[in-house]
């Protein structure tokens, strides 16, 4: 009989006898080991008033995974939203069967509980685990009773900056995501024979494998098994280590006798030579073997641990990038939080698989699992799909507890614990390329005092990572001190240390065109970082922009983006990605890049775009129901499957009578028709197919884009509606977003040349009371302005029109004569020596109407300064 079939059959028999009663679900396991999920029958209560001895009869009935928190994904606070942090209590009654009794050993395993957890079994305090993202176990052999047992768990996700918080020295200190509370992953009981593979190794499997050499036609795999004897007497056992291929055939095996004294832990190291190995080769061929360790007493298997494993090598070159199995591989991918929508961290495996299927669809070949340890099923999915993984610990925001000038001993110990647990629990996954020791660990130093030093702790963690796993480099993601002394990219700072000094491989988080600088400046900045660290391998760990599904723009350059507020037009997000990706792709020294983020996610610090408590930088919506335009831009670049996508599916009510029509496709050319009228084909440059200045008629406009690739006909369509005809314009000068006003739908600034778009109210997180324009029929028409010397040239059918211009003087108490300019229409002065301060004063609306005669299919309006800068708030054009 095949050995795999045998141990699964044994497990199936044993699965019927360990536990009886509430909360127990059997899962097949190997050899003499049994594992039972405790997911049903729990009772839950929140609050300080409860204790481990509280009567849970009135508590809420819950099933694991569970969290009491609900946050994100809504335009306003949802009725069931709950961002309360504190103590969550859980109780479970269950019955233990005879196979859980001594001499067998029983362990209670938590796959994840947030953040600090205290656990009691039958009134006995088993211990505390400080860390909300890794697995942990307690030996319950002495506390477990035959028959009825009572398990009580207190989880506490109080923020670390709360006075007296139990999490004050527990990672993370903060971050732009929400730390959900509760038993949000599975809980289970594991029983073993007295001699067994160790379960007390920081939540790890007790079996650790790595490829130590790979040559043509041959590989050597080293396996370390930690075996423990919990019996009261010495035991003679054998340890058999095998490598099994995907068909169940053993391709290499070694057996060693082992004399185990009482209560001792031994390490067994085995080298397995594999002839003609099939390599784990990323998305091309993610081939998996199984490393299996059997503990045998005579001919009987008393314990087995089986771990998926892939034979592969990885290398990082400072100039040439990433190498998998000796061959260069350009890594392009996404970041992901473990949140899966409305259920937060309490997600099912089905939800996880759904997320990874979307990642596969976009064509990514790497994933950065930010900013903490993810569920084990996520790493396993990456193994099977061939995704290269950046794995990370939650050292974020600060490298010391709040208010402390240096990392405290408790904080350092907790950081080391997180890193050790991450590595021990996940080291066998072939998908993992690096261990990240931090993300933006000194970002809070920009605005907080004191400024704890970052590099000493990072160097300590890097050394620990190398000691735990010499086969993978320690890495980190830097933003605010990438170059020594800098606070933000291209901005001189005051004495911040530089995190990349601690490692040989690192990433930079860069938000050019979003939080700072111009998106076109990214390339030069990356070259600067590469030149400063010529011997370090560099990646880009974050980049992107917010994208709101209900907010739109006619021109992503129409005005300044309000990164920390509203609006966040979906088209602006697309623009940032369109301009960023080619710069990253064309840097051979970048070993990887990950866009931020794959999915919108919850965070309690944001009110941006069209959502509350949500980071909207995802290229897929919070509930996964909508793939944003940017998703299809990357799919066109990364996924070879023929595709075409017409941008603007959600911008259906159109403000402008003339629009650029854009499609994403990996076909070389595409064709457009509007209401059946063929507008011809264009080349799809950088996978972008663009038709300029398409005229839209009044009413419905049916747009159809078509293409062909590899013999497959491609098609997409949308309907754009116009309330007015082609001779009507409504434009908000200096504003980025399309806005509904009392006078109809106004478009973002467009068709301009020169000048600068500005906002009346400063886009800061805690703005002063907004400025109010006196005498304005609608404030929306005055919230931005274009200033300087500028002009507009608008496509317009020949004829007579009325041009309405709106102005406001934004400078408080501006004296007359400080800002004087002419307004020219079709080359003739229509408004000479316009002085807003003299005519209306400061912060008071001024409106002027002038006639406009269009000829040659266009209208030109010019703003020519005489003193100071010209200015315009909004304008409209209507047929006469």
In this model, does residue 290 exceed pLDDT 50? Answer: yes
Average pLDDT, the chain: 93
In this model, does residue 14 exceed pLDDT 60? Answer: no
List, in sequence order, every beta strand (DSSP E) within 589-668. 590-595, 601-608, 611-615, 644-646, 658-665
Copy the structure tokens of residue 237.
Answer: 């056992």
In this model, does residue 27 exceed pLDDT 60? Answer: no
* Segment 427-473, tens digit of pLDDT: 999 999 999 999 999 888 877 778 889 999 999 999 999 999 999 99
Using alpha carbons, select from 180, 176, 158 the residue that is nearest to residue 82: 180
What mean pLDDT comes out for the span 529-545? Answer: 97
412 phi, psi to nearest 5 deg: -60, -45
What integer pLDDT is reported at residue 382 of this predicted model?
98
Integer angstrom CA distances of residue 499 from 414, 453, 504, 514: 19, 10, 11, 23
DSSP 524: H
What integer pLDDT is reported at residue 28 of this predicted model?
39
Q: Is 24 helix (H, G, I), strand (E, B) or coil?
A: strand
In this model, does residue 339 exceed pLDDT 60? Answer: yes
Q: Is 523 helix (H, G, I), strand (E, B) or coil?
A: helix
What mean pLDDT comes out for the span 767-796? Answer: 94
Q: What is the DSSP string of 662-675?
A: EEEESSSEEEEEET
In this model, does residue 523 exceed pLDDT 60? Answer: yes
* Segment 127-177, tens digit of pLDDT: 999 999 999 999 999 999 988 999 999 999 999 999 999 999 999 999 999
| Cβ 543 vs Cβ 573: under 8 Å | no
Using alpha carbons, select from 5, 49, 60 the residue that is nearest to residue 28: 5
Copy the structure tokens of residue 801.
Answer: 């029109």
DSSP 502: G
Distance, CA of 427 to CA of 209 (rounded, Å): 8
What mean pLDDT comes out for the span 357-376? Answer: 98
What mean pLDDT comes out for the span 212-225? Answer: 97
Integer angstrom CA distances of residue 45 from 60, 81, 89, 271, 392: 6, 17, 5, 51, 32
Domains and CATH numbers, the chain: 3-197 (2.60.120.260), 207-309 (2.60.40.10), 314-639 (3.20.20.80), 658-722 (2.60.40.10), 729-879 (2.60.120)
Band of pLDDT at residue 490, cut at 50, 70 and 90: low
What integer pLDDT is reported at residue 489 of this predicted model?
61
What integer pLDDT is reported at residue 9 of this predicted model?
35
Distance, CA of 307 to CA of 304 (rounded, Å): 10
What integer pLDDT is reported at residue 497 of this predicted model?
82
In this model, does residue 99 exceed pLDDT 90? Answer: no
* Segment 308-327, tens digit of pLDDT: 999 999 999 999 999 999 99
Place of tokens 């991918």: 333
Using alpha carbons, select from 582, 579, 545 the residue that is nearest to residue 560: 545
CA angle at 760 for the pair 756 and 766, rounded to the nearest 5°: 120
Q: Is 747 helix (H, G, I), strand (E, B) or coil?
A: strand
- How many helices (DSSP H) and strands (DSSP E) are in the chain? 9, 56
Please give the share of the chain, as a percent, with pLDDT higher than 90: 89
Copy the structure tokens of residue 280.
Answer: 């784990």
Cα torsion 834, 838, 841, 844 to 10°: value is: -30
Copy the structure tokens of residue 445.
Answer: 């130093």
What integer pLDDT is reported at residue 210 of this predicted model?
97
In this model, does residue 209 exceed pLDDT 80? Answer: yes
Distance, CA of 118 to CA of 105 (rounded, Å): 21
Distance, CA of 133 to CA of 438 (rounded, Å): 15
* Segment 105-135, tens digit of pLDDT: 999 999 999 999 999 999 999 999 999 999 9
What integer pLDDT is reported at residue 626 of this predicted model?
98
| Exposure string over 187-224, b if 16+ CB within 10 A, otherwise e | bbbbbbbbbbbbbebbbbbbbbbbbeebeeeebbbbbb
Q: 22 or 456: whose pLDDT is higher?
A: 456
In this model, does residue 6 exceed pLDDT 60? Answer: no
Q: Is 741 helix (H, G, I), strand (E, B) or coil?
A: strand
In this model, does residue 296 exceed pLDDT 50? Answer: yes
What integer pLDDT is reported at residue 691 of this predicted model?
98
Distance, CA of 734 to CA of 749 (rounded, Å): 6
Q: How far apart are the first and last CA of the chain?
A: 90
**Residue 247 neighbours by CB distance under 10 Å:** 8
DSSP 757: E
Torsion sign, CA atoms 478, 484, 486, 491: negative
Band of pLDDT at residue 17, cut at 50, 70 and 90: very low
Q: In sequence order, what are the beta bridge partners of 678?
A: 673
CA angle at 164 for the pair 161 and 170, rounded to the nearest 5°: 55
Q: What is the pTM of this model?
A: 0.94
Copy the structure tokens of residue 754.
Answer: 């020169």
Q: How many whole angstroms from its chain centre is CA 430?
A: 21
- Burial class (CB within 10 angstroms; exposed 0-12, middle 13-18, buried 19+) of 797: middle
DSSP 344: T
In this model, does residue 864 exceed pLDDT 70? Answer: yes
Q: Is 401 helix (H, G, I), strand (E, B) or coil?
A: coil
In this model, does residue 655 exceed pLDDT 90? Answer: yes
Active site residues: 440
What integer pLDDT is reported at residue 620 of this predicted model?
98
* Segment 250-259, tens digit of pLDDT: 999 999 999 9
């Amino acid at each position: 009989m095949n050995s795999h079939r045998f141990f699964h059959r044994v497990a199936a028999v044993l699965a019927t006898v360990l536990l009886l009663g509430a909360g127990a679900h059997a899962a097949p396991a190997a050899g003499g080991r049994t594992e039972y999920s405790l997911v049903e029958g729990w009772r839950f209560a929140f609050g300080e008033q409860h204790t481990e001895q509280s009567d849970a009869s009135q508590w809420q009935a819950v099933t694991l995974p569970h969290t009491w928190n609900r946050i994100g994904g809504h335009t306003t606070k949802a009725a069931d939203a709950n961002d309360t942090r504190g103590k969550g209590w859980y109780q479970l009654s269950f019955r233990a069967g005879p196979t859980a009794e001594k001499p067998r050993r029983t362990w209670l395993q938590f796959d994840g509980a947030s953040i600090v957890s205290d656990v009691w079994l039958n009134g006995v305090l088993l211990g505390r685990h400080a860390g909300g993202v890794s697995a942990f176990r307690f030996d319950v052999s002495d506390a477990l009773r035959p028959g009825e047992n009572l398990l009580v768990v207190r989880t506490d996700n109080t923020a670390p900056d709360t006075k007296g918080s139990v999490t004050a020295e527990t990672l993370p200190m903060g971050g732009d995501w929400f730390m959900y509370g509760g038993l949000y992953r599975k809980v289970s009981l594991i029983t073993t024979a007295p001699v067994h593979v160790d379960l007390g190794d920081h939540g790890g499997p007790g079996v650790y494998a790595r490829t130590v050499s790979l040559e043509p036609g041959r590989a050597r795999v080293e396996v370390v098994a930690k075996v423990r004897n919990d019996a009261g007497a010495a035991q003679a056992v054998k340890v058999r280590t095998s490598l099994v291929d995907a068909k169940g055939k053993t391709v290499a095996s070694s057996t060693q006798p082992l004399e185990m004294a009482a209560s001792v832990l031994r390490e067994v190291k085995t080298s397995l030579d594999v002839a003609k190995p099939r390599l784990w080769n990323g998305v091309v061929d993610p081939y998996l073997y199984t490393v299996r360790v059997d503990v045998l007493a005579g001919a009987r298997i008393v314990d087995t641990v089986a771990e998926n494993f892939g034979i592969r090598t990885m290398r990082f070159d400072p100039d040439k990038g990433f190498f998998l199995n000796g061959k260069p591989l350009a890594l392009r991918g996404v970041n992901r939080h473990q949140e899966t929508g409305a259920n937060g961290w309490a997600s099912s495996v089905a939800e996880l698989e759904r997320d990874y299927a979307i990642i596969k669809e976009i064509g990514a070949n790497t994933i950065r699992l930010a900013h903490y340890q993810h569920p084990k099923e996520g790493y396993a999915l990456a193994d099977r799909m061939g995704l290269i993984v950046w794995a990370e610990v939650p050292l974020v925001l600060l490298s010391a507890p709040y208010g402390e000038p240096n990392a405290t001993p408790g904080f350092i110990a907790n950081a080391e614990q997180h890193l050790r647990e991450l590595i021990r629990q996940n080291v066998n996954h072939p998908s993992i390329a690096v261990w990240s020791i931090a993300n933006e660990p000194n970002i809070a130093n920009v605005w907080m005092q004191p400024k704890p030093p970052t590099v000493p702790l990072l160097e300590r963690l890097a050394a620990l990572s190398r000691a735990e796993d010499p086969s993978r480099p320690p890495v980190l993601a830097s933003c605010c001190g990438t170059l020594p002394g800098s606070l933000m990219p291209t901005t001189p700072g005051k004495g911040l240390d530089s995190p990349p000094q601690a490692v040989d491989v690192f990433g930079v988080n860069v938000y050019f065109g979003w939080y700072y600088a111009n998106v076109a400046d990214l390339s030069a900045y990356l070259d600067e970082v590469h030149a400063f660290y010529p011997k370090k391998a560099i990646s880009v760990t974050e980049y992107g922009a917010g994208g709101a599904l209900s907010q739109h723009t006619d021109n992503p350059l129409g005005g300044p983006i309000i990164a920390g507020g509203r609006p966040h037009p979906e088209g602006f997000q697309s623009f940032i990605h369109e301009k960023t990706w080619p710069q990253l792709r064309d840097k051979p020294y970048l070993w990887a890049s990950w866009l931020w983020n794959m999915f919108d996610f919850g965070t309690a610090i944001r009110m941006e775009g069209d959502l509350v408590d949500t980071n909207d930088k995802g290229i897929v919506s919070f509930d996964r129901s909508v793939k944003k335009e940017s998703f299809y831009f990357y799919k066109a670049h990364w996924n070879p499957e023929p595709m075409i996508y017409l941008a603007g599916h959600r911008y259906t009510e159109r403000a402008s009578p003339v629009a650029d029509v854009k499609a994403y496709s990996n076909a070389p050319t595409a064709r457009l028709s509007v209401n059946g009228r063929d507008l011809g084909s264009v080349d799809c440059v950088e996978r972008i197919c663009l038709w300029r200045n398409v005229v839209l008629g009044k009413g419905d406009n049916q747009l159809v884009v078509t293409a062909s690739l590899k013999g497959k006909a491609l098609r997409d369509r949308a309907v754009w509606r116009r309330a007015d005809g082609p001779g009507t314009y409504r434009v908000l000068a200096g504003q980025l977003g399309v806005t509904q006003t009392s006078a109809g739908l106004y478009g973002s600034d467009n068709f301009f040349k020169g000048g600068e778009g500005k906002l009346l109210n400063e886009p800061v997180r805690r703005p002063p009371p907004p400025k109010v324009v006196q005498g304005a029929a609608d404030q929306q028409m005055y919230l931005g302005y274009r200033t300087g010397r500028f002009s507009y040239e608008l496509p317009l059918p020949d004829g007579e029109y009325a041009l309405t211009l709106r102005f406001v003087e934004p400078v408080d108490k501006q004296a007359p004569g400080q800002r004087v300019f002419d307004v020219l229409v079709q080359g003739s002065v229509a408004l000479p020596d316009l002085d807003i301060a003299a005519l209306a004063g400061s912060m008071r609306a001024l409106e002027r109407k002038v006639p406009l005669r269009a000829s040659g299919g266009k209208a030109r309006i010019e703003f020519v300064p005489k003193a100071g800068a010209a200015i315009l708030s909004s304008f409209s054009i209507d047929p006469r």
